[in-house]
Amino acid sequence: MHTHMEDYDYDAIREVGKVSYEALQYSRKVVKEGRRILEIAEEIEKFIKDRGFEMAFPANISINENAAHYTPTADDPYVLEGDETIKIDIGARKDSYLGDCALTIDLSEEYSKLVEASEEALESAISMVKAGRPVNEIGREIAKVAESRGFRPIRNLGGHGVDKMDLHASVFIPNFDNGDTTKLEEGQVIAIEPFLTDGEGLVGDGEHLQIFQKTRDAIPRSNDLRSISEFIDERYRTYPFALRWLQKDLGAGEFKIRRTLNELAGMDAIEAFPVLVEKKKGMVAQSEAEMIVQKEGCDILTK
């Protein structure tokens, strides 16, 4: 179950939501044709850190058919050409409170209907939120909006509960009616994130793998890898981190870090988040907001 309300600091989560949202709006200024996505990610992350917050997870800059989990490599050469549809998904963290919000920026200007449909699906979904609402009804609403606009919801992605220290907690909020009648509860913090596509409506794992999360205590056998593992424990604990962060923080080469991560993965102590790619390479738009479930309605945190 999610954290009980009495030990949940709603002021802290409001603060985190506000900064996450401000960073999301700031991303509109930095996502421009001719810019390296590495610089964009670093500037968004710096925006959050300069306000005294940590990152809940690395800035996701997922382009076109990539739906989620693309964060740049340490020397990512990708420069925006001006014909992309870009999902920015970010969150700030303070103590154990996590923000999460996303928007889509369509530089191509060819997919404005898809982007608008994802925003409309989010608004419709938010209007459904209240204590006692079964999650499949929210999913049904998202799919209804998507399909009425000629698009498909991505069925194997969805929203989620947000707990202390746990970004993908307890409840799953589908983007279609998946038959799950789990009810939302008053005081629960949730994120709703419609992903819409003109493709098949499913994502699979792509090759790009830059985001990791230590899931339990484990120490690599070899000494030279142990120090990297200890650094992860100390610096990132059980929060997601980017490979480029480790390379920068440690001044270590990618090969040695990957060896450490592979060894930890072999011990079942690391979760990896590969980029998620639409199955038919369809275009993807995403909109996401975080909110507190109330008796009647909700309190939006990312505004």
Give me the residue spans of the domains in the chain.
5-205+280-300, 210-275
Architecture of domain 210-275: Orthogonal Bundle (1.10)
Q: Which of 160, 163, 198, 208 is catalytic?
A: 160
One of 119, 193, 263, 290 is an active-site residue; which one? 193
Catalytic annotation on 119?
Answer: no
Q: How far apart are CA 83 and CA 217, in angstroms?
A: 44
Upper half-sphere CA count for residue 213 (Cβ side, 13 Å): 16
Backbone phi and psi for residue 93, each to the nearest 5 degrees, phi listed first: -135, 140
Would you call 284 helix, strand, or coil by DSSP? strand
- From the number of C-beta atoms within 10 Å of its C-beta (0-12, 13-18, 19+), residue 300 rates as middle
Q: Catalytic one among 45, 76, 288, 290?
A: 288
The residue written with tokens 């419709």 in the block is 124
Q: Which residues pair with 93 in a beta bridge?
A: 54, 98
Give me the tens of pLDDT residue by residue for the chain, a chain 303 residues long.
445 566 889 999 999 999 999 999 999 999 999 999 999 999 999 999 999 999 999 999 999 999 999 999 999 999 999 999 999 999 999 999 999 999 999 999 999 999 999 999 999 999 999 999 999 999 999 999 999 999 999 999 999 999 887 777 789 999 999 999 999 999 999 999 999 999 999 999 999 999 999 999 999 988 888 999 999 999 999 999 999 999 999 988 889 999 999 999 999 999 999 999 999 999 999 999 999 999 999 999 999
The neighbour count for residue 253, using CB atoms within 10 Å, is 11
160 is catalytic: yes
100 is catalytic: yes
Active-site residue, selected from the candidate residues 100, 106, 141, 290: 100
CB 287 within 8 A of CB 106: no
Q: Are 9 and 294 in contact (CB under 8 A)?
A: no
Q: Judge whether 263 counts as a catalytic residue.
A: no
Q: Of 89, 120, 278, 290, which is the active-site residue?
A: 89
H or E segment to which residue 106 belongs: strand 101-106
Q: One-letter amino acid identity for 45?
A: E
Q: Which CATH number fits domain 5-205+280-300: 3.30.300.180, 1.10.10.60, 3.10.20.30, 3.90.230.10?
A: 3.90.230.10
